[in-house]
C-alpha cells in the first residue's frame, strides 16, 4: 500500500506505518509535517517564522482565522477552488498538536518516505520543509512551484509526480 498525506496528515501516516509497517510500501509526504519521534506537532510548528493563526473556540476546538485562510493556504489556487476549500473547513480538536509521536527505526524507519515540497507554501516555508526532511529519512524529494494545496493549484503536475513515485 502507498500512503500519501498532506499537512498534519503526515502525523497520521507516520503513526499508521509505525503500527503496520508490513502493509506499507511507500509513504509520500505532500508538504506534510515530518515530526521526529518523541516530538509533537506543536514542537515542530513552533519553529515556524509565521505560525498559523488559530482561533481557540469556547468548545475546546481550534479553527483557522477566516481572513488568513486564502493568503496562507491557497495563495496560488484559483479563487473558485479556494472558496470551495474554505467552505469545507471546520473546527478541530487541539490534541493533534500536543500528542507526541513514538517511532521506531525497525518499524517506521524501514519504509521509504519521499517528500513533495512546495515553494509557495506560506504556512510551512520551504526552509522549514527542508529542515524536517533533514531530520527524517527523505531520500527522494520533489519540488513543486505550488502553494500549500497543490491538488488545487497544480493538480496535473501533482498527479504526474505521484505516478512517478508509485
Of 96, 109, 87, 94, nearest to 33 (Cα)?
96
- The pLDDT assigned to 50 comes to 63
| Residue 1: CB atoms within 10 Å | 10
Q: 59-113, pLDDT tens digit by residue? A: 788 888 888 889 989 999 999 999 999 898 888 887 878 889 999 988 988 899 9
**109 phi/psi in degrees, rounded to 5:** -65, -15
Q: Which residues contact 97 (CB under 8 A, 6 or more apart)?
A: 40, 41, 42, 45, 62
The overall average pLDDT reported for the chain is: 89
Which residues are within 8 A (CB) of 8 and not within 5 positions of it... i.e. 6 or more apart? 32, 33, 41, 96
Q: Which three cell numbers stand for residue 124?
A: 510551512
DSSP string, the chain: -EEEEETTHHHHHHHHHHH-GGG-SEEEEES---PPTT--HHHHHTT-SS---EEE-TTS-EEE-GGGHHHHH-TTS-HHHHHHHHHT---B-THHHHPPP---TTTGGGSB--EEEETT-SSS-HHHHHHHHHHTT---EEEES--S-HHHHSHHHHHHHHHHH-
2-165: CATH architecture: 3-Layer(aba) Sandwich (3.40)
- Which band of pLDDT confidence, cut at 50, 70 and 90, is reported for residue 115? very high
Better-predicted residue by pLDDT, 52 or 69: 69
Return the closest-CA partner of residue 115 out of 2, 24, 5, 12. 5
- pLDDT of 46 strictly over 90: no
Q: What is the pTM (predicted TM-score) of this model?
A: 0.89
Pairing relationship of beta strands 115-118 and 26-30 according to DSSP bridges: parallel
At residue 5, the pLDDT reads: 94
Amino acid at each position: 500500500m502507498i500512503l500519501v498525506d498532506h499537512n498534519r496528515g503526515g502525523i497520521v501516516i507516520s503513526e499508521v506505518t509505525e503500527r503496520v509497517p508490513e502493509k506499507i510500501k511507500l509513504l509520500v509526504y505532500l508538504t506534510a509535517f515530518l515530526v521526529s519521534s518523541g516530538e509533537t506537532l506543536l514542537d515542530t510548528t513552533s519553529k515556524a517564522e509565521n505560525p498559523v493563526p488559530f482561533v481557540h473556540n469556547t468548545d475546546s476546538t481550534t479553527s483557522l482565522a477566516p481572513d488568513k485562510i486564502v493568503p496562507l493556504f491557497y495563495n496560488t489556487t484559483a479563487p473558485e477552488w479556494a472558496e470551495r476549500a474554505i467552505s469545507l473547513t471546520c473546527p478541530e480538536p487541539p490534541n493533534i498538536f500536543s500528542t507526541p509521536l513514538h517511532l521506531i527505526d525497525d518499524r517506521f524507519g524501514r519504509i521509504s518516505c519521499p517528500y513533495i515540497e512546495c515553494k509557495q507554501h506560506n504556512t510551512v516555508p520551504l526552509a522549514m520543509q527542508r529542515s524536517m526532511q533533514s531530520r527524517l529519512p527523505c531520500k527522494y524529494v520533489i519540488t513543486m512551484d505550488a502553494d500549500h494545496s497543490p491538488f488545487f493549484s497544480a493538480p496535473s503536475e501533482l498527479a504526474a509526480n505521484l505516478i512517478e513515485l508509485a
